[in-house]
Structure 1
Amino acid sequence: MSSNVVPLETFLDLPDHARLLGLDLGTKTIGLALSDVERQIATPLETIRRVKFGLDAAALIKIAQNHAVAGLIIGLPLNMDGSEGPRVQSTRAFVRNLAPLTPLPVAYWDERMSTMAVTRTLLFADASRAKRAEVVDKMAAAYILQGALDRLMRMEPGDPEHDDAAPDGADAAR
């Protein structure tokens, strides 16, 4: 297990005014979202077209450096019943391979229904199929990151309740 995969509450100790980067890992793309410096609002940033791991990781690390990112929130695609399937294994493998390349702490966040919620919002906004395809990944990343940011805002260091940051411990390395 990588030493930079940490429980979400570890992010409470990050330096002030350091941003977080949210990731929605897909098979063809990686959606990215960036927090503000106060770590209260997640904003869709961009979508990386996946090529191969080395190039994907280099692009991700460069974006993190350019935006002074202090930590990564990675969506963990649990099954609806909370079990782990092939997509979770793929996500964990990506993080295992990324960890040696960056000192940034990584926390998982349960992403169940994030793409569905974003797609529903885009449908409600009457976005065209092409527009939805263009923005859904980075918006899903923002949805994931916002969930983690909201939870962090409710946490206090030393608070015994911070173990329930996400259902089924998806925010911690298990």
Structure 2
Amino acid sequence: MQTIDSISKSEDKISIEKDSIEGASSIASESGNNISISEESIPTSGVLIGLDYGEVRTGVAFCDYNQELAIPNGVYGPKKFIVDIVLQLIKERDVVGVIIGWPLNMKGEEAFQCKETQKFIDNLQKSWKGPIVKRDERCTSSYVSSMYSGGHKLETDDALSAMTILESFIGRKK
């Protein structure tokens, strides 16, 4: 896991304004300052970041400009710096949209972790106004564990989960 002991903020905040956002997704929600975003609000070209947000660490993946291939980037922490870390990654890669795993339980209901994930989204949206789409992440961890890790939990699994979440999003248009 990549860790950061301190983050220094520069005065130039990242801010991407959207003139209008239409529609709503069953996966997206509206709470507090959170904007309801449909999958259609994500541009069809440009780099996307996929996130598997967790209490201890967050897996990150990116797709290429044409949104055809998702590649794991890494696992980041600690949690108290993750918003700043993600903002820096968004800035470095000129990201046009965020796809984040939404941890529903097996019945399709919001699990406890959804509240924590929503807090992270709300904090991210204070500094970045681009589109954020929640994507069902059920079974992602078990899929990654069986496909890539031989059934064992590895540190890289969170980045591979982020890649799988992002792949499920970019694969919807094929």
Mapped to 1, the partners of 2:36 and 2:132 lie a distance apart of: 5
**Whole-Å separation in 1 of the counterparts to 2:104 and 2:44:** 30
Q: Distance in 2 between matches of 1:121 and 1:106?
A: 27
| 2:161 alignment partner, one of 131, 135, 140 | 140
Is 1:150–2:150 an aligned residue pair?
no
Identical residues among aligned pairs (%): 27
Q: Determine whether 1:45 maps to 2:66.
A: no
Match status 1:77 vs 2:108: no
Q: How many angstroms does 1:98 deviate by?
A: 1.4
State whether residues 33 and 46 of structure 1, in contact with CA within 8 Å, keep that contact through their aligned partners in structure 2. yes
Which blocks of at least 5 consecutive residues in structure 1 are unaligned? 155-174
Two-structure CA RMSD over aligned residues (Å) = 1.7
Q: Please report the TM-score for the alignment, with normalisation by the length of structure 1.
A: 0.76
Count of residue correspondences:
143
Give, in angstroms, the shift of residue 15 of structure 1: 6.6
2:136: which partner in 1? 110
Q: Please list, as runs of the form range in 1=range in 2, the aligned pairs for 1:48-127 lying within 5 A after superposition.
A: 48-52=76-80, 55-124=81-150
The runs of 5 or more residues in structure 2 that have no matched partner are 1-30
Q: For 1:67 and 1:135, locate their aligned partners in 2 and report how far apart those are by CA, in whole Å.
A: 21
CA contact (8 A) 1:35 1:43 kept: yes
1:133 is paired with a residue whose SS is: coil
Q: Helix, strand or coil: the match of 1:93? A: helix
**Native 8 Å contact 1:5 1:105 kept in 2:** no
TM-score by length of 2: 0.76
Distance change in 2, residues 1:5/1:67 (3 Å): farther
Aligned to 1:23: 51
1:7 and 2:35 aligned:
no
Contact 2:87 2:124 in 1 (8 A): no
Structure with higher helix content: 1
* Deviation of the 1:123 alpha carbon: 3.7
Q: Matches of 1:149 and 1:46 in 2, distance apart?
A: 19
